[in-house]
Amino acid sequence: MDHFTYRGGALFAEDVPVAEIAAAVGTPFYVYSTATLTRHFQLFDDALAFADHLVCFAMKSLSNQAVLRVLAQAGAGMDVVSAGEYLRAKAAGVPGDKIVFSGVGKTADEMRLALEGGIRQFNVESEPEMIALDAVAQSLGLVAPITLRINPDVDAKTHAKIATGKSENKFGIPISRARDVYALAATLRGLKVVGIDVHIGSQLTELAPFEAAYAKVAELTETLRADGHEITRLDLGGGLGIPYARSNEAPPLPSDYGAMIERTLGHLGCEIEIEPGRLISGNAGLMVSKVIYVKSGEDRDFLILDGAMNDLIRPAMYDAWHDIVPVVEPAPGTATARYDIVGPVCESGDTFAKGREIPPMVAGDLVAFRSAGAYGAVMASEYNSRPLIPEVLVHGDQFAVIRKRPSYEEMIARDSLPEWLE
């Protein structure tokens, strides 16, 4: 569910007409719904009511300060994967004891930053990382709370580029070596093992892969406890998918996911952490773009937009589908037209959709890309020297620009010339 609906023939973001935002900030832009963000967070929070728990938003999906503040005020923790994300979370008002630090390549500087600033836990991905973290913690006279990320070798049945739980992936410690690595961790004075971490991938549309992985986590928990380790916390990652194409079968609900967690892991008495990103932020955002030209080709028509792959790269990178809808609702019975929907970047890959059936469009019309809140703005670039596009937050009948579009002068001024070129 989201809060982007047609009223009186116009697309609204909560109680604000999308066309009104476009007139104020220009196109293209991202717009996020506060009501959708908080509702989706609450669904996860309610789903874990059976246990002590923390829902940590995977901020790699959407890291704007205003969005983080909305979720922090709702009670969310944060899952971060870099020093920059850690500092963003702190700047948004998230306390260190609600921040989980994930990622395969944490540096000593990042470890030091989080230890000094406060951290709930590090999700450690390898023995070399564990040894490095121990050294940093001991140099500071601190003890770092850790889970070890276990790779359960479970096929998440998702796109190959966002699968993380198979033995061929770079993530985690093979489950076959878990006991040995936990035994090593117990000997390191700068570390305190608090639990187990697992994350098998993103955009999962069925519960079976989760359940297979969590069954292995349950068995491993019992084994490690028998070995003398204190396992009090299970970090189960994120990855629950969203329905990008409305004709597709809907992925499981957070309530179903929570019930499965209770069924497979509830008997262990552990605190539960989950790290959803896409399901909280994905349907909470639109990217809005304007038609520049309608071009007739040899065997197809092209809808050329002012938004491009540098603004929303998912279709180019993952062949991802986004529903693309007109901002002005078509009259009932309006015939559709077939377009390749493309951007102005000088790449054939700058294609959002091929042969997409939508109502006929003309230059100046506005279109909205649904389900664009996750991995949209955060993956944007300035390719072709196109400035990053604005982000807008809606709250009821109010809206505010939460990241402005830089001017060309501001973008160029970030470069500097060496003195021998002056």
Domain boundary among 246, 281, 316: 281
Q: Tens digits of per-residue pLDDT, 101-131?
A: 999 999 999 999 999 999 999 999 999 999 9
In a shared domain, residues 272 and 403 = no
In a shared domain, residues 178 and 241 = yes
Which of 149-163, 217-231, 293-307 shows the lowest mean pLDDT across its residues?
A: 149-163
pLDDT at 169: 52
In a shared domain, residues 27 and 43 = no
Q: What are phi and psi of 126, to 5 degrees?
A: -160, 165
Q: Is 406 among the domain residues?
A: yes
* Residue 236, token pair as written in the block: 């189960």
In a shared domain, residues 253 and 311 = no
DSSP bridge pairs for 191: 144
Q: Is 382 among the domain residues?
A: yes
- The one-character DSSP state at 306 is S
Domain boundary among 253, 281, 309: 281
Is 50 exceeded by the pLDDT of residue 309? yes
pLDDT at 163: 44
- The one-character DSSP state at 255 is H
- Among 122, 145, 62, 59, which residue's Cα sits nearest to residue 94? 59
* Residue 315, token pair as written in the block: 């279709």
346 a catalytic residue = yes
Identity at 335, one-letter amino acid code = A
Pairwise CA distance, residues 365 & 44, whole Å: 37
Structural domains in the chain (count): 2
Beta strand pairing status for 77-80 and 144-151? unpaired
Which member of 346, 362, 417, 421 is catalytic? 346
Specify whether the CB–CB gap between 241 and 256 falls below 8 A. no
pLDDT at 89: 98
Is 70 exceeded by the pLDDT of residue 159? no
Q: Tens digits of per-residue pLDDT, 238-271?
A: 888 887 875 555 788 999 999 999 999 999 999 9
Domain boundary among 249, 281, 313: 281
Stretch 1-30: mean pLDDT: 96
More confident residue, 153 or 277: 277
Q: Is 320 among the domain residues?
A: yes
Percent of the chain with pLDDT over 70: 95
* Residue 244, token pair as written in the block: 């990008």
In a shared domain, residues 170 and 127 = yes
Stretch 148-166: mean pLDDT: 61
Pairwise CA distance, residues 259 & 264, whole Å: 9
Q: What are phi and psi of 158, to 5 degrees?
A: -130, -175
Please report which helix (H) or strand (E) contains residue 150, including its range: strand 144-151
**Dihedral (Cα; 378, 381, 382, 386), 10-degree rounding:** -70
pLDDT at 200: 84
In a shared domain, residues 109 and 221 = yes
Pairwise CA distance, residues 144 & 136, whole Å: 9
DSSP bridge pairs for 273: 54, 235
In a shared domain, residues 55 and 204 = yes
pLDDT at 165: 40
In a shared domain, residues 167 and 245 = yes
Q: What are phi and psi of 237, to 5 degrees?
A: 70, -160
Q: Tens digits of per-residue pLDDT, 181-221?
A: 999 999 999 999 999 999 987 788 889 989 999 999 999 99
CATH code, domain with 81: 3.20.20.10
CA 136 from centroid of its chain's CA atoms: 29
How high does pLDDT run on average in the chain? 93
Q: Is 250 among the domain residues?
A: yes
Q: Tens digits of per-residue pLDDT, 274-305?
A: 999 999 999 999 999 999 999 998 899 999 99
Is 60 exceeded by the pLDDT of residue 158? no
In a shared domain, residues 15 and 117 = no
**191 SS3 class:** strand
| C-alpha separations of 93 from 43, 98, 404 in Å | 22, 10, 21
In a shared domain, residues 266 and 324 = no
Burial of 341 (0-12, 13-18, 19+ CB in 10 A): buried
In a shared domain, residues 289 and 266 = no
Other C-beta atoms closer than 10 Å to the C-beta of 245 total: 12
- With tokens 């493309």, the residue in question is 342
Pairwise CA distance, residues 225 & 307, whole Å: 53
Pairwise CA distance, residues 306 & 227, whole Å: 60
Pairwise CA distance, residues 413 & 408, whole Å: 8
- With tokens 């004891």, the residue in question is 97
- DSSP-assigned letters across all residues of 88-145: HHHHTT--GGGEEE--TT--HHHHHHHHHH--SEEEE-SHHHHHHHHHHHHHHT--EE
CATH code, domain with 317: 2.40.37.10
Other C-beta atoms closer than 10 Å to the C-beta of 247 total: 7
Percent of the chain with pLDDT over 90: 86
In a shared domain, residues 184 and 256 = yes
Is 70 exceeded by the pLDDT of residue 161? no
Pairwise CA distance, residues 49 & 105, whole Å: 33
pLDDT category of residue 388 using cuts at 50, 70 and 90: very high
pLDDT category of residue 167 using cuts at 50, 70 and 90: very low
Task: Supply the Cα-derived Rg of the chain in whole angstroms.
Answer: 23
pLDDT at 257: 94
If phi > 0 it is left, if psi is from -120 to 50 it is alpha, else beta; for residue 320 that is: beta
Is 60 exceeded by the pLDDT of residue 345? yes
Domain ranges, residue 188: 35-281
Pairwise CA distance, residues 96 & 139, whole Å: 20
pLDDT at 244: 80
Q: Is 418 among the domain residues?
A: no
Q: Is 420 among the domain residues?
A: no
Q: Is 386 among the domain residues?
A: yes
